[in-house]
Amino acid sequence: MRDSVAAEKLSERDKKHLWHPLTQHKTSPEMLAIARAEGALLFDEDGKKYVDGIASWYTCMYGHCNPYILDRVKKQMDTLDQVVFSGFTHEPAIKLSEELIKILPRNQEKLFFSDNGSTSTEIGIKMALQYHYNKGKKRNVLLAFEEGFHGDTFGAMSVSGLSVYNGPFEDFFIEVERIPVPTTENLDEILNRLKERLQQNNIAGFIYEPLVQGAAAMKMHGAEGLDQILALLQKHEVLTIADEVMTGFGKTGKYFASDHLRHQPDIICLSKALTAGLVPMGLTTCTEKVYNAFYSDEVAKGLFHGHTYTANPLACTAALAAVELLQTDEIQQNIKNIIGWHQDFNKIIKDHPKVKETRQTGVIYALDLNVQMERYGSLRNKLFEHFMGQGVFLRPLGQTIYILAPFITTKEQMERIYEAIEKALEIV
Amino acid sequence: MRDSVAAEKLSERDKKHLWHPLTQHKTSPEMLAIARAEGALLFDEDGKKYVDGIASWYTCMYGHCNPYILDRVKKQMDTLDQVVFSGFTHEPAIKLSEELIKILPRNQEKLFFSDNGSTSTEIGIKMALQYHYNKGKKRNVLLAFEEGFHGDTFGAMSVSGLSVYNGPFEDFFIEVERIPVPTTENLDEILNRLKERLQQNNIAGFIYEPLVQGAAAMKMHGAEGLDQILALLQKHEVLTIADEVMTGFGKTGKYFASDHLRHQPDIICLSKALTAGLVPMGLTTCTEKVYNAFYSDEVAKGLFHGHTYTANPLACTAALAAVELLQTDEIQQNIKNIIGWHQDFNKIIKDHPKVKETRQTGVIYALDLNVQMERYGSLRNKLFEHFMGQGVFLRPLGQTIYILAPFITTKEQMERIYEAIEKALEIV
């Protein structure tokens, strides 16, 4: 009996009890079973290999099962697995804080841990709301970009302008006001409208994905317009919350997307590549000014938020090893190489008749097809199947194809991705 | 320079950049640095040892750094660390689903993964809301227990009746209606009021901690009243959501608190002991009936919720090893032993003049002191310091002292906890 179960394919056994995220199981019933992973490669249960062109949702930037990271985490597992982080502390969290502070934008001083990107933005929002509350000011409006995406819990969903199938939950959202992403054309209007709006003195915080909006299909905007918006908001004591869950840790060519700007955020949200694809962790960092608004003889002015596994020692150890790798000459050189390869590929592909637009920020490269597609529609699925057939894991977002491969991807592996994209243009 | 940093105590280095959860740093500036852990013991940076009397927030139930679990997770780390769980699957998630289904209440059929307890309840709430929405029914009210606690993200905070310092966020809460926890005295009134209320046909779901309300200081209620409430709600197609984040996995003497009831929930939320204290993971399970409401040719009827590390292979591997351990004769016998030891201790302590009330469900034992205390006040801190001085980690919740030690705690270790509690009664 057990043998017959073991002989059944994983992809079949999957169907019995698993409900997958972001999936309509009736129209997309098949899940490919991945058996192992190494570097930039995934291997399915039949042994077929795939280049992980999106680093498993932008997490495994130093490669899957990186031995440098694994060795460190295995040692930590033998020492301390988990302890309550309220009243207690431990070396992995302390060392990580010391090393992260060195590479974070210089105004960041304090770190508040949680478990994923959604919780990191919820905490950012709570910091902004309570900051004003603790100062005795009633500010109960949040500002966000149209088409921003900040997570799937209720607070995070509320600030996300990109609402794919959010219908059932809209009655339960926090009220949020939105502004368009700045362009050279609309910037003056945005600033003028904001100046007027700010007279009401009730905007607590502004949450934004700096430079690249990931879930909106890697939409990109320049630093200059965003900088002017941040300057205006900070003048009116609106706390600025940079959601760098996707953009953080080297992907934009600098350590953080905020490093491209002159005005640094009050709060930064991090996750994904933070732990190098090993285990989940979220992190919300902030300035001394934000922290000080909570530091008080009144207990109630503290931030009474906490998840059980906050600052899990294994996750902190993975993150510390990742921060070390990020700063090595090897990884920094690889990042430069990938940026150059994308630029060369772009020259070849950008004028293709099926290509509407291309864009690049650091190692993030995206192209929009000249074809209308639904976000979860059949043409999108056909493209996905094409890429997998070519041994390349890319995950088209509607009509957008994008690459966000691990920093350790070789030139040969990246060329396999480029070729698969060129072939894709023939079938759409 | 590096040596001088290394020589500084961890508890001092902690103060520079770390913002701890549920902490007012000005009134509680000292964090104890834990260097290692083994079985039921924690060791601080000076080598002093403590019995982990609350299993690091009810997670490490099989003991810290359990070699059976570590070996399995280390092997998994060398094979597959992480892969997107949308479109893909993997053996650790599949095996875990197959084994969990065998011990979950029999009506549970599908598993939806996330990263912590808050996300597991947010997903339960979203399932309940969208279930009715997908059937074309407008049901936009949630029901919850007074003093329930379900997490710290906005959706989870909204359903939590226990609002410690939630002032800054209350304008942003989902509207929730509350009922008291049932007692023999109030049950008829609760049922009568509910019957009338249900005529409006707009309650989507009811979220509750079955039998033991953890954050409300281990308040306990009987199965009979809850069973009658569940029966009435299910008759009116209100989805019942059991938050077993704290009570799950053997703590009540059965695998799940819901196993003590005749009426099984439509949805169950799990986390904490799920991964045996190794890494964070959340899980929301549900019946075929719930799942079928999302299974459709219309893509939009799917549950478009997803976290990046959903069903992380390392977390699934830890959880699978934990589910195996839970079912061993050794752990089941240890659970029975602990239940007996608590009962014996209770006979000694329950009539002490400083003791107002004692209660026990499975391995969860709680006593209320005959003394008024603030939840985060100075007497509470004095008690905490007393316990730590005695080499016992207990975390009083206001005037309640409770024990929820690992299943592998020895009789000698448990007696150390009992003695520390007896001594505590002399100092309050």
Crossing angle for the helix pair A117-134 and B117-134, to the nearest 10 degrees: 100
Q: What is the pLDDT of residues A69-82, one digit of tens each?
A: 999 999 999 999 99
Q: Compute mean pLDDT per 10 residues along chain B, 428 residues long, and list them.
A: 67 98 95 98 98 98 98 98 98 98 98 98 96 93 95 92 71 85 97 98 97 96 97 98 98 98 98 98 98 95 96 98 98 98 98 97 97 76 95 94 98 98 94
Which of A 103-122 lie inside 8 A of B, CB atoms? 109-119, 122
Edge to edge, the sheet with strand B141-145 lists B110-114, B282-286, B267-270, B239-243, B203-208, B141-145, B176-179
Closest alpha carbon within chain A to B108: A17
Residue A5 confidence (pLDDT): 53
Determine whether the interchain pair B26/A295 forms a contact, defined as Cβ–Cβ distance below 8 Å: yes
Residues of A in contact with B171 (CB under 8 A): 140
Across the interface, whether the CB atoms of B133 and A167 are under 8 A apart is answered: yes
Contact A233, A194 (CB under 8 A): yes
Q: State which amino acid sits at residue A223.
A: A
Q: Say if pTM beats, i.e. exceeds, 0.90.
A: yes
How far does the CA of residue B28 sit from the closest CA of chain A (Å)? 8
Q: Say which of A27, A83, A111 has its CB closest to residue B42.
A: A83
Shortest Cα distance from A204 to chain B (angstroms)? 11
Cα distance from N-terminal residue to C-terminal residue, chain B: 46
B80 and A35: CB-CB below 8 Å?
A: yes
Residue A157 is encoded by which pair of tokens?
A: 């969903």
* Chain A residues whose beta carbon lies within 8 Å of the beta carbon of residue B57: 84, 308
A187: exposed, middle or buried (C-beta count within 10 Å: 0-12, 13-18, 19+)?
middle
Tell me whether residues B280 and A129 touch, CB distance under 8 A.
no
Inter-axis angle of helices B378-389 and B411-427, nearest 10: 140
β-strands A32-38, B88-89 pairing: parallel
What confidence score (pLDDT) does residue A71 get? 98
Which ranges of chain A have pLDDT less than 50?
1-3
- Asked if A82 has any chain B CB less than 8 Å from its own CB, the reply is yes
How far away is chain A from the Cα of B343, in angstroms, using its nearest Cα?
27
B28 in contact with chain A, both atoms CB, cutoff 8 A: yes
Two tokens, residue B249: 């996995």
Residues B152 and A122: their CA atoms lie apart, in Å, by 9
Across the interface, whether the CB atoms of A279 and B59 are under 8 A apart is answered no
Is the Cβ pair B153, A377 closer than 8 Å? no
B342 alpha carbon, distance to own chain's centre: 20
Report the residue from B31, B301, B308 with minimal CB separation from A117. B308
Residue from B4, B9, B12, B19 whose CB has the most chain A CBs within 10 Å, to mutate: B19
* Residue B363 touches partner A, C-beta closer than 8 Å: no
- ipTM over cut 0.90: yes
Chain B: closest CA distance from residue A103 (Å): 13
pLDDT of residue A7: 78
Residue B129: Cβ within 10 Å count: 24
What is the Cα–Cα distance from A63 to A59, expressed in whole angstroms? 9
Best mutation target, A86, A115, A129, A379, to test chain B (most B CBs within 10 A): A115
Indicate the DSSP class of residue A170: G
Amino acid A2: pLDDT:
47
Q: Which domains, ranges and CATH numbers included, belong to chain A?
A: 2-65+329-424 (3.90.1150.10), 69-326 (3.40.640.10)
For A351-358, the CB contacts below 8 A with 24+ separation are A352/A425, A354/A425, A354/A428, A355/A425, A356/A399
CB contact under 8 A, A152 and B14: no
Q: Among all residues of chain B, which has the CA nearest to that of A304?
A: B22
Contact A88 B295 (CB under 8 A): no
